[in-house]
Every structure is written in structure tokens, then in C-alpha cells.
Amino acid sequence: MAIEQSGPACQIIKQNWQQVATPEQQFRVLRGDVVKRLKSLAAEEFDRIYFDPPYTANLYEPVLEAIAKYSLLAAGGELIAEHDPKREMVEVSGLAIVRQKVYGGCAIAFYQSLNSPVP
């Protein structure tokens, strides 16, 4: 599942996925505002969620809150949020940061649901 605002970027994501996916893997690309689209996914759970917004877009807190509110992260699943290493990542109700890594000008925070089993 991917959510992307830009129509041309949606097409590129679909093409890239088709090149790396195995036949049994399913993938959807939704176009639109990520916070609004997350609400439409409330009945679904995902094992992995990768979140890479523009670093200055102020999307971290609303997106993380929506993911927690709609229980989109499956028990035992992992949410990976890419961010500027200078940014202090937020913990929101229902999600906890379990580790963080810095790779040069990029940082990654790994979240798990507080309802998930501890690894």
C-alpha cells in the first residue's frame, strides 16, 4: 500500500513495484492526502508501514496519530519513519519508538504498537 499526493509519482511507484514484486504480493497505490486516506483504511492492518514525508511537511504527528487511532499497525508489526536527524521524533499514544538509526543526512525511527508483543 502506498499513499501519494502526486499523480505522476503514483505512476512511478506502481511501475517500480511491478518490477520488484513477486506474483503473490499485492500492492495498491492510493492518491490523495495521507491523513485523509489513512482514515479510509481503518478496517485494515499492515505488518510494515514505511513513512517518508518531505522532512519539513509537518506530517509526522498527524500521520502517526492516525495510524495509532485507526489501529493500522498489526500486532508485532513495525512502522519505519524516515526523518531529518535533527528532528526529535514524537511518541504518540498507542505507538512507541523501539530504536533509531542515523545514516548521514537521514535518520530512521522504528515504532511498534504498544499492543504488540515485545521482541
The pLDDT profile of the chain, 119 residues, written as one tens digit per residue, is: 789 999 999 999 999 988 998 888 888 889 999 999 999 999 899 888 999 999 988 999 999 999 999 999 998 889 999 999 999 998 898 999 999 999 999 999 999 988 754 44
86, 4, 75, 83: CA torsion to nearest 10? -10
The domain containing residue 14 runs over which residues? 1-32
Residue 25's SS3 state is coil
Tell me which DSSP letter residue 71 carries: T
Phi, psi angles (nearest 5°) of residue 25: -80, 140
pTM for the predicted model, two decimal places: 0.84
Same domain, 23 and 61: no
Contact assessment for residue 79 and residue 91, using Cβ atoms and an 8 Å cutoff: no
Same domain, 56 and 114: yes
Report the pLDDT value the prediction gives residue 84, as an integer from 0 to 100. Answer: 95
Number of domains in the chain: 2
